[in-house]
Amino acid sequence: MPRAADSPSEPPPRRILVAGTSGAGKSTFARRIAAASALPFQEIDALFHGAGWTPRPSFVADVDAFTAQPGWVTEWQYDTVRELLADRAQLIVFLDYSRFRVMRQVVTRTVRRRVRREELWNGNVEGPLHTIFSDPEHIIRWAWTTHGTRGELVADAARRRPHLEVVRLRHPREADAWLAETFPFHRDS
């Protein structure tokens, strides 16, 4: 259960990860937490992806520098930094939404981004939609394939880190309620 934010013995967490499969809404919810908590937010994809979708050589160092701060919010992803992030976090908020909801969200988002040619990170845009059939790492395929694996990653991180609190949210309404309860004196945008 989430702790009460106004409990004198337990202040709200200050180092927060948002976990879930691609398309669950990690970045969106992490931004909302950052706004409600007045903590800095860093979208981890922007640190990872360089121009032309190439991994940035400074990725691990950038994540290390960001998470060395006393407070922060980011998404929990990328194997190369997953352990570092979990070691430094106080809390993982796990968006454990249904496969139906996640797939609807990731398909809608991917199509919108492609049609509008929205710039994502460092000049990158979504690839052609037809690549879902040829690219095993296409975001829609990735979301489908990894949907059932995130829970075990979260459970394993918590087992190995007694300090790490986990809040599992199964629906956006639960996420809204948790946010309002955990940071009651702040409004998110």
Which superfamily does CATH assign the domain made up of 15-182 to?
Answer: P-loop containing nucleotide triphosphate hydrolases (3.40.50.300)
Which residues face 167 on adjacent strands? 93
Which residues face 17 on adjacent strands? 74, 92
Residue given tokens 């860093």 in the structure block: 42
Q: Residue 68 and residue 85: Cα distance in Å, rounded?
A: 10
Hey, what are 132's tokens? 């879902």
Q: Residue 13 and residue 84: Cα distance in Å, rounded?
A: 17
In one letter, which amino acid is 66? F
Hey, what are 47's tokens? 């640190």
**Residues 114 and 131 sit within 8 Å (Cβ to Cβ):** no
Q: At what angle do helices 99-116 and 139-146 cross, to 10 degrees?
A: 170
The DSSP letter of residue 164 is -
The pLDDT profile of the chain, 189 residues, written as one tens digit per residue, is 344 444 445 788 999 999 999 999 999 999 999 999 999 999 999 999 999 999 999 999 999 999 999 999 999 999 999 999 999 999 999 999 999 999 999 999 999 999 999 999 999 998 888 888 888 888 999 999 999 999 999 999 999 999 999 999 999 999 999 999 999 876 554
**Domain edges within the chain:** 15-182
Provide the CA 122 distance to its chain's centre, in angstroms: 19
**Residues 33 and 39 sit within 8 Å (Cβ to Cβ):** yes
Rounded to the nearest 5 degrees, what angle is found at the Cα of 111, between the Cα atoms of 109 and 116? 95
